[in-house]
Amino acid sequence: MRRGLFLILLMLSTSAAAVTAAEAEEVRLTEEMRALARRNIWLGVDRMYRALVARDAELTGKQHLEGAYAAQDLGEIQDCYDRLRAAARSTPTREVIDWLWAIDTQYGQVELTAQLGAQFAISEPPLDAVKRKAIDTATRRLAEDGRFAGMLPVGEYLVDDAVLTVTSGRRAALAL
């Protein structure tokens, strides 16, 4: 009974009724993503966003923006940036444009390849929690895969004994 009522409410809460099973699944993923975003459960939002993208769903600017918040919370700044660009194409709000500008000026593109277990550290750790999480994500990827491709905060990093300088607007690469 409860499940039936929930499904009826779900169908009424969307602007268009789902006709096919594929459309119904997109509606379900969209509603779940929205509910998770309201509760700041960003890992779940990221999972729903990726599921919608995998289904080639047409996403709204708001969905791309929620996906960007999720990626940022997970330390995936490159994914955040890509999702913001998608949001800007469909809904170029001031929030999106300012956020893109902030990433452009505070982060740089990086491609690192190192031996598993390589030491990775920034010379001056940032106070900003988002930047620290981006560095932690890169550190984890290097430890697990020996590779990281994405965006890191501007600064000087030590990878074993090598110095990697990350600047905004430039791609930095280091292979050890």
Domains of the chain from N-terminus onward = 2-103 (1.25.40), 107-175 (no CATH)
Q: How far apart are CA 166 and CA 174, in angstroms?
A: 11
Q: What is the pLDDT of residue 12?
A: 55
Look at 15-19, 69-73, 145-149 and tell me which has the smallest mean pLDDT. Answer: 15-19
Q: What is the pLDDT of residue 18?
A: 46
pLDDT digits (tens, 9 = 90+) for 28-85: 989 999 999 999 999 999 999 999 999 999 999 999 999 999 999 999 999 999 999 9
Residues paired with 108 in a beta bridge: 152
Residue 175 has pLDDT above 90, yes or no: no
pTM above 0.85, yes or no: no
Token output for 174: 């280091």
Q: What is the pLDDT of residue 115?
A: 86
